[in-house]
Structure 1
Amino acid sequence: MTEWSYTVKIWAIRKRDYRKPYQLRWKVGTRPHSESFLTLGLADSRRAQLITAAREGEPFDVDSGLPKSMVVKERDITWYEHARGYIEMKWDDSPGNTRRTLAEAMATVTPTFVKDTRGMPDTRAARRALYSWAFNKNRWDEETPTDVAKILDWFERKSLPMSALSDRLVVRGALAALSKKLDGKTAAPGTISRKRAILYNALEYAVDAELLDDNPLGRIKWKPPEQVTEELDPACAPNPMQAAKLLTAVREQSMRGRRLVAFFGCMYYAAARPAEVIGLRLKDCDLPRHGWGLLRLHETRPRSGTAWTDSGEAHEKKGLKHRPRKAVRRVPIPPELVALLRWHLTAYGTATDGRVFQTLRGGLIQDTGYGEVWAEARSRALTPAEFESVLAKRPYDLRHAAVSTWLSSGVEPQLVAERAGHSVAVLFRVYAKFLKNGDEAANAKISARLGHHG
């Protein structure tokens, strides 16, 4: 942290028998400083600068001996340089998906922090170059393709100095950019929130580096665009009969489908996220011959992509979403899922590391693979009208179906949230319409308790 002082003493220029004979001496606080010049004119000019700054009440940097205005000017790097420094600072301690999110946010706002738009690259090409190369530290040592290098060179030349970001209107332009998708439509609420948080953090890092006096985002009154609610559309969640038909269609379509029916069953009967099912191990399962069983979920294998991980593998090993690394979520599972898992383990065994689900070659289940199986199952199990609708459009909708089934069965919301790995607040916000559908049943229970009849 820079130490500033208002105590400045500047002496007269003295001449010595050296290559640069004219020496200017001054003291900031108790720290002496000196600078030598070839000519008396140059020495006088620098002395006048220091005297003017001192008379105008500027603080001086004790280490460099320079007034604040000169220190800031020397430190004034570009936004592009600062953004890459921010990515480098965050990189090592961030998992792959977080790295992708950081890069996406920086790639979104960087085109707004430019001096002018003359010669600006195509929007999509610019976003791709910034996202995949400028803000992906894993690629900084690779040879950059010629077309990408040309784009990044433009941003290096055109990027605003950090001092320009003290102007609130400049930063407001970045807020407008992160509120939109590339096609001009309004971005999702969660996307806007994440990108704004990253921009705020990058500007805080600039304050820490003394590139800015304060964070301009804190001085801007701004509301994100009007958003659609986060409530889940009940039309996307299949009912038990539809879910059963879909799982049957998965099993009957191919050998790959038979290997995945229990995988999808974990999403439907246990409300497990796909990344949680990918990481499920045999030791995490209690599968009795009769009655209910139990899954202990504590590991996820999210797919970040090979470009964003240190290992070069597409998946990473992490704890549960929004939970401490060693947290375990216990989910009781009905006999239907117990039977599916027992059959699966008998037919296919486990991977070498104990994982329940594996590809034919023993690898991790890929979203592209199970996505193709699911798309085929929808075409087989649903009516033409259902197929064209949002019903079970994504495998993840099986998780929504599980939660909605629990809620409609009268399970207490707090217990549903615990089993699904949600906070109660998120449950009420996302599944509000499912909760509303239970009003009639709730009213009947209250009436019965109060002794109403008829």
Structure 2
Amino acid sequence: MEWSYTVRIWAIRKRDYRKPYQLRWKVGSKPHSESFLTLGLAESRRAQLVTATREGEPIQVTIGLPKPLVAKERDITWYEHARRYIEMKWTHAPGSTRRTLAEAMASVTPALVMDTKGMPEVHAIRTALYSWAFNVNRWKEAPPPEVAKVLAWFERKSLPASALADRMQVRAALDALTKKLDGTTAAASTIRRKRAIFHNALVYAVDAGLLADNPLPQVRWKLPEQVGEEVDPACVPDPERGANLLTAVRGQSARGRHLVAFFGCIYYGAARPAEVIGLPRRGWGTLRLRETRPRSGSAWTDSGEAHDKRGLKHRPRKAVRTVPIPPELVALLRWHITAYSVAPDGHLFRTSRGGLIQDTGYGEVWAEARRRALAPAQRASALAKRPYDLRHATVSTWLSSGVEPQLVAKRAGHSVAVLFRVYAKFLTDGDDAANAKISARLKRQD
């Protein structure tokens, strides 16, 4: 922006118009004018300009107003800014990222209001903000009356975006994004993800001229103490239980037989479920994972389909992750192809109707497998609660077998830093073996 201290202000003149009182002034060489309904309003604006000039305030050349008034003129509510931020990010974001953006904005927006008088119930707020206010695909639709009422409340009560210059407001927003709908603390990875989005939204506010700088780095705030990302060993099945669960999948139904190789890829190859859904037929003895099919929901994708087609997580679009697989999985995949062949599009796993496997479908099969394979006390515990725990079981097995962490991280498809952070408890299990190796080496010096 160009600013100037050279200002000339003329007297107010009256004309025969709907707004008869006109104020004229010039900033540098650029003329400005503004008309008002009453003389008092015109004099008030003139007084603002005169005062700013006397106090040495710079005047913005294009807009013609002093710095404090420029910010006030351009200010919008946080609710409106959040919607503009979502719209800016929407076009180039995949469906799963769009959901994450909406979740973050739906978490912080209720904390950034002038007061809570008449504030709707928490679940109504969640539905209105997450599914309507921050979902661009829904903006062309008229929301139901109960949703429109909630959105109207936020339009009235939302703080100005400029209020985020107050660090206490930022702290309130950060505290809000640590909580789930039931009031319990969210996972560390969820909090970090939402904080990053909130940070980016504040950067966008700076770019839009709503804030002078981003206040977030100046706020001393940390994750709640009890939050961690480490995998709980109680969730992870040992090799014997893992094999029993796969047997229980195979034996329960036709759908189970169709999915046993799907779960086998997660268990023996440490593949993520979304990677297995997009798994094509490739060389045997090695999995070559090249795409994911995360389920975002049709409301969040441009295609209207429930699944996005994306590259591997945190990798370039055409990257391929190579994972050597044991004979057990080789045999399982060969059996699957013999029994079910390969889909016309080259994929191994599909529903009976030829569509992509849904998380609800394989979730039901997994729940039944747990019921069959685990004792009552184990079923009541967190042991193998989710199919994703099979992936944790594979990584922990690799680590406990003495495979170098760098190679484990490469096969699992994440960084060594993530491996050490998430699987810390399994890495410490090797202390006894490490101590024995060190003792043996020291004894050779005796």
Is the contact made by 2:236 and 2:390 (CA closer than 8 Å) also made in structure 1? Answer: yes
- Residue 283 of structure 2 aligns with which residue? 286
Shift in Å, 1:449:
4.2
Count of residues in correspondence between the two structures: 446
Instruction: Say whether residues 1:318 and 2:310 are aligned partners.
Output: yes
Shift in Å, 1:36:
5.4
Shift in Å, 1:65:
1.4
- Residue 295 of structure 1 aligns with which residue? 287
Q: Using the alignment, how far apart are the partners of 1:361 and 1:15 within structure 2?
A: 77
Shift in Å, 1:446:
3.4
Describe the superposition over 1:87-132 as per-residue Cα deviations: whole angstroms up to 9, x where unpaired: 1111111111111111111111111111211111111111111111
- Residue 189 of structure 1 aligns with which residue? 188
Instruction: Say whether residues 1:344 and 2:336 are aligned partners.
Output: yes
Q: Using the alignment, how far apart are the partners of 1:387 and 1:18 within structure 2?
A: 80
- Residue 290 of structure 1 aligns with which residue? none
Q: How does 1:168-207 map onto structure 2 within 5 Å?
A: 168-207=167-206
Q: Using the alignment, how far apart are the partners of 1:438 and 1:42 within structure 2?
A: 77
Q: How does 1:100-179 map onto structure 2 within 5 Å?
A: 100-179=99-178
Q: How does 1:51-450 map onto structure 2 within 5 Å?
A: 51-282=50-281, 285-287=282-284, 293-450=285-442
Q: Using the alignment, how far apart are the partners of 2:254 and 2:301 within structure 1?
A: 31
Q: Using the alignment, how far apart are the partners of 1:453 and 1:20 within structure 2?
A: 98
Q: Using the alignment, how far apart are the partners of 1:15 and 1:173 within structure 2?
A: 49
Is the contact made by 2:202 and 2:214 (CA closer than 8 Å) also made in structure 1? Answer: yes
Is the contact made by 1:280 and 1:356 (CA closer than 8 Å) also made in structure 2? Answer: yes
What TM-score does the superposition give when structure 1 sets the normalisation length? 0.93
Describe the superposition over 1:256-277 as per-residue Cα deviations: whole angstroms up to 9, x where unpaired: 0110111111011111100010
Aligned partner of residue 343 in structure 2, secondary structure? coil
Query: Structure 1 pair 375/169, CA: closer, same or farther in 2 (3 Å)?
Result: same
Which deviates further from its counterpart, 390-399 or 442-451? 442-451
Query: Structure 1 pair 143/348, CA: closer, same or farther in 2 (3 Å)?
Result: same
Q: Using the alignment, how far apart are the partners of 1:393 and 1:117 within structure 2?
A: 39
Is the contact made by 2:187 and 2:228 (CA closer than 8 Å) also made in structure 1? Answer: no
Is the contact made by 2:185 and 2:227 (CA closer than 8 Å) also made in structure 1? Answer: no
Q: Using the alignment, how far apart are the partners of 2:429 and 2:365 within structure 1?
A: 32
Q: Using the alignment, how far apart are the partners of 1:179 and 1:397 within structure 2?
A: 24
Aligned partner of residue 437 in structure 1, secondary structure? helix
What TM-score does the superposition give when structure 2 sets the normalisation length? 0.94
CA RMSD of the aligned region, Å? 2.2
Aligned partner of residue 321 in structure 1, secondary structure? coil
Letter in 1 for 2:436: A
Structure 1 residue ranges without an equivalent (≥5): 288-292
Shift in Å, 1:170:
2.0
Describe the superposition over 1:138-159 as per-residue Cα deviations: whole angstroms up to 9, x where unpaired: 1111121111111111111111
Query: Structure 1 pair 15/159, CA: closer, same or farther in 2 (3 Å)?
Result: closer
Which deviates further from its counterpart, 325-334 or 434-443? 434-443
Aligned partner of residue 438 in structure 1, secondary structure? helix
Which deviates further from its counterpart, 124-133 or 226-235? 226-235
Q: Using the alignment, how far apart are the partners of 1:257 and 1:41 within structure 2?
A: 79
Aligned partner of residue 286 in structure 1, secondary structure? coil
Which deviates further from its counterpart, 239-248 or 222-231? 222-231
Q: Using the alignment, how far apart are the partners of 1:36 and 1:433 within structure 2?
A: 70
Describe the superposition over 1:7-64 as per-residue Cα deviations: whole angstroms up to 9, x where unpaired: 2222455678989887544221222223456887665554333211111222211112
Aligned partner of residue 352 in structure 1, secondary structure? coil
Is the contact made by 1:189 and 1:227 (CA closer than 8 Å) also made in structure 2? Answer: no
Structure 2 residue ranges without an equivalent (≥5): none
Query: Structure 1 pair 12/362, CA: closer, same or farther in 2 (3 Å)?
Result: same
Letter in 2 for 1:31: K
Query: Structure 1 pair 111/36, CA: closer, same or farther in 2 (3 Å)?
Result: closer
Letter in 1 for 2:81: H
Q: Using the alignment, how far apart are the partners of 1:442 and 1:140 within structure 2?
A: 59
Percent of pairs identical after alignment?
A: 76
Letter in 2 for 1:383: A
Letter in 2 for 1:177: A
Q: Using the alignment, how far apart are the partners of 1:250 and 1:87 within structure 2?
A: 41
Query: Structure 1 pair 14/433, CA: closer, same or farther in 2 (3 Å)?
Result: closer
Q: Using the alignment, how far apart are the partners of 1:148 and 1:168 within structure 2?
A: 31
Query: Structure 1 pair 25/347, CA: closer, same or farther in 2 (3 Å)?
Result: same
